Copies of this chain bind each other. A is one copy, B any other.
Amino acid sequence: MMVHLMRRNRLQDWMKREGLDLAIVTHPANVFYLTGFYCNPHERFLGIVVPAKGESTLIVPALEKEAATAKSQMNVDSHSDTEMAADVLHTVIERTYANPQTVGIEKASMSVARYEEISARVGGSYQDIEPALLQMRQCKDETEVSIMRKAAKLADLAVEAAVSAIEVGKTEVEIVQAIEAAIKAHGGERAAFETIVLSGEKSALPHGVPGTRKIASGDIVLVDLGVVVEGYCSDITRTFVVGEASPEQRAIYDTVLQANEAAIAAVKPGIAASEIDRAARDVIARSGYAEYFIHRVGHGLGIDVHEFPSLHGANTTPLVTGMTFTIEPGIYLPGTGGVRIEDDVLVVDGGVEVLTKFPKELMILPA
């Protein structure tokens, strides 16, 4: 596809500037970004060989060749389970750029074993190209933004399905099931991660696992879900109370909501990522819950559900138009319960567009 060829061209321009002869890209999300073909190769080899100049080659497991060719419309080479992927890779490299002096690899995702296997056969010095790829990916183009709007819309609809499903006596996994059915019914490819529904004191576990706990009156119910649409993720959290909310539940909810809104209001091009984290953290600290907000305020979102930029207190990277990330402050009181409110946002000229639109005022669901 045209857009993928353009992305490979941008990578090649960058490689020329950096003096790289060859790049070997193997992270499935980066391969998808550069080719339009996505696959999880499990322990098999998947990768693209990109020379600084000229045509790239996609290498896939044999059983993916047909699909890869159709999707990428580029050179595709394949290897069967009995062939050594390293041999095929070596042959492609020989053909593409014999004896490269400088080779780019993704150091954060390539394994030590793969690196030792490749570097034993292909000489040259090895440099990390992963930061450059992640940087390319963090600013979305128009096509990507329009897909991410769709993914966020489906996340809203899935939260709506959760609200309809939540009911005293139902288990957390039953709510998960209703959410995942809604995701499929609305045309989502799949959940972007294991859907989280946590009730009562379990809502204080930020990445707890839904189980057979039955929802009771007075429970907090925290719902964290994401939807993949055309390879891009959304990620939303809403927190509800069933029956009647206690004063403490209201207090932490209001604080988290204010923190969410303060962080969103702070988003604009040029501001440091750390400032967004601080905007939320200040609100929570002023309410006396500082020690119960135990994670960063958000993370980049796109092909991966966690990508650049990371919105934490030590990241001074300035925000740039086209970045998409989550804003998700939370307060977790061990043994009592937790509240998190998460939106997906896009940095636009002069401010922010909030992609997720499900209402955020405290909803008390009937007991």
Closest to A109 in B: B111
User: Whole-angstrom distance between the alpha carbons of A305 and B43 in the complex?
Assistant: 11
Interface status of A251 (Cβ within 8 A of chain B): no
Interface residues of A in 25-78 (CB under 8 A from B): 39, 42-43, 61-64, 66-67
User: Whole-angstrom distance between the alpha carbons of A285 and B54 in the complex?
Assistant: 41
User: Whole-angstrom distance between the alpha carbons of A110 and B67 in the complex?
Assistant: 29
A82 contact set on B, CB distance < 8 A: 296, 312-314
Interface status of A120 (Cβ within 8 A of chain B): no
A189 contact set on B, CB distance < 8 A: 209
Interface status of A10 (Cβ within 8 A of chain B): no
User: Whole-angstrom distance between the alpha carbons of A225 and B361 in the complex?
Assistant: 40
A305 contact set on B, CB distance < 8 A: 42
User: Whole-angstrom distance between the alpha carbons of A110 and B111 in the complex?
Assistant: 5
Out of B187, B208, B294, B306, which one reaches A43, CB within 8 Å? B306
A109 contact set on B, CB distance < 8 A: 111
A190 with B184, Cβ < 8 A, contacts A112-B105, A207-B63 known: no
Interface residues of A in 92-128 (CB under 8 A from B): 105, 107-116, 126, 128
Interface status of A194 (Cβ within 8 A of chain B): yes
Are A205 and B66 in contact (CB-based, < 8 A)? yes
Interface status of A206 (Cβ within 8 A of chain B): yes
Closest to A62 in B: B294
Closest to A209 in B: B189
Interface status of A336 (Cβ within 8 A of chain B): no
Q: Tell me the count of chain A residues lying within 8 A, CB to CB, of chain B.
A: 55
A113 contact set on B, CB distance < 8 A: 107-108, 128, 130
Interface residues of A in 286-306 (CB under 8 A from B): 294-296, 305-306
Interface status of A185 (Cβ within 8 A of chain B): yes
In this complex, which of A107, A112, A313 has the most chain B Cβ atoms within 10 angstroms of its Cβ?
A112
Interface status of A334 (Cβ within 8 A of chain B): yes
Are B306 and A81 in contact (CB-based, < 8 A)? no
Stretch of A148-156, A175-183, A240-248, A351-359 lying at the B interface: A175-183
- Using an 8 Å CB-CB cutoff, how does the interface string of A299-338 with B read, 1 for contact, 0 for none? 0000001100010111000000000000000001010000
In this complex, which of A108, A114, A184, A313 has the most chain B Cβ atoms within 10 angstroms of its Cβ?
A184
Are A185 and B194 in contact (CB-based, < 8 A)? no
Out of B174, B177, B205, which one reaches A67, CB within 8 Å? B205
In this complex, which of A205, A207, A313 has the most chain B Cβ atoms within 10 angstroms of its Cβ?
A207
Shortest distance from the beta carbon of A150 to any chain B beta carbon, whole Å: 15
Interface residues of A in 197-234 (CB under 8 A from B): 205-209, 212
Interface status of A80 (Cβ within 8 A of chain B): yes
Are A42 and B295 in contact (CB-based, < 8 A)? no
Interface status of A165 (Cβ within 8 A of chain B): no
A67 contact set on B, CB distance < 8 A: 205, 207-208
| 10 closest Cβ pairs, A-B complex | A107-B113, A107-B112, A81-B296, A108-B113, A63-B206, A177-B184, A42-B306, A81-B312, A82-B314, A112-B115
Excluding A42-B306, A82-B296, A108-B114, 15 further A-B contacts by CB distance (< 8 Å) are A43-B108, A62-B295, A66-B205, A67-B207, A80-B295, A81-B310, A81-B312, A82-B313, A107-B116, A108-B111, A177-B181, A177-B184, A177-B185, A180-B181, A181-B181
